[in-house]
C-alpha cells in the first residue's frame, strides 16, 4: 500500500515504514504528525484518486529529526557592467517516518 501526499508545496510517494525529508514542519522530535492532504491511495488492485484530495484519507507519521540541507550558492553576474552578487541558501527540512496510511 502506498499513497501520494502533498506537503510544503511538493508531492511525495510514501509507503508505511519509509523515511522522507519534507519541508520544515512544526513539532518536536518524536511527536506524531497527521497529513490529511492525500492525493492518491493504492492498495494492491484498487487505486483511489482524489479530486483533488481523497476524502477521509490520512497518513500518520513520526518526526525523526530536523535539519538543514546542503548550501546552494547563487551567483549573478552581468559581464562588462561590474556587477557581481553572491548569495548562499540552506533549506530547512524535517525527516519523518511514515507509520500508517488509512483510507476512509
pLDDT at 104 over 90: no
Rounded CA-CA distance 38/7 in Å is: 9
Q: What is the mean pLDDT of residues 13-40?
A: 96
pLDDT in tens, 45-100: 999 999 999 999 999 999 999 999 999 999 999 999 999 999 999 999 999 999 99
> What nine digits make up the cell of 90?
540552506
Rounded CA-CA distance 35/11 in Å is: 12
pLDDT at 36 over 90: yes
Rounded to two decimals, the pTM is 0.85
Q: Which pLDDT score is estimated for 44?
A: 87
Contacts of the segment 7-14: beta carbons below 8 A, 24+ positions apart: 7/35, 7/37, 11/39, 14/59, 14/98, 14/101
pLDDT band at 21 (very low <50, low <70, confident <90, very high): very high
> What nine digits make up the cell of 59?
497518513
Amino acid at each position: 500500500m502506498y499513497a501520494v501526499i502533498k506537503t510544503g508545496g511538493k508531492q511525495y510517494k510514501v509507503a508505511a515504514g519509509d523515511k522522507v525529508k519534507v519541508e520544515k514542519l512544526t513539532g518536536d522530535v518524536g511527536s506524531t504528525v497527521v497529513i490529511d492532504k492525500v492525493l492518491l491511495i493504492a492498495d494492491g488492485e484498487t487505486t483511489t484518486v482524489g479530486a483533488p484530495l481523497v476524502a477521509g484519507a490520512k497518513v500518520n507519521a513520526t518526526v525523526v529529526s530536523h535539519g538543514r540541507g546542503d548550501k546552494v550558492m547563487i551567483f549573478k553576474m552581468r559581464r562588462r557592467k561590474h556587477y557581481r552578487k553572491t548569495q548562499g541558501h540552506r533549506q530547512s527540512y524535517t525527516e519523518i517516518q511514515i507509520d500508517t496510511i488509512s483510507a476512509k
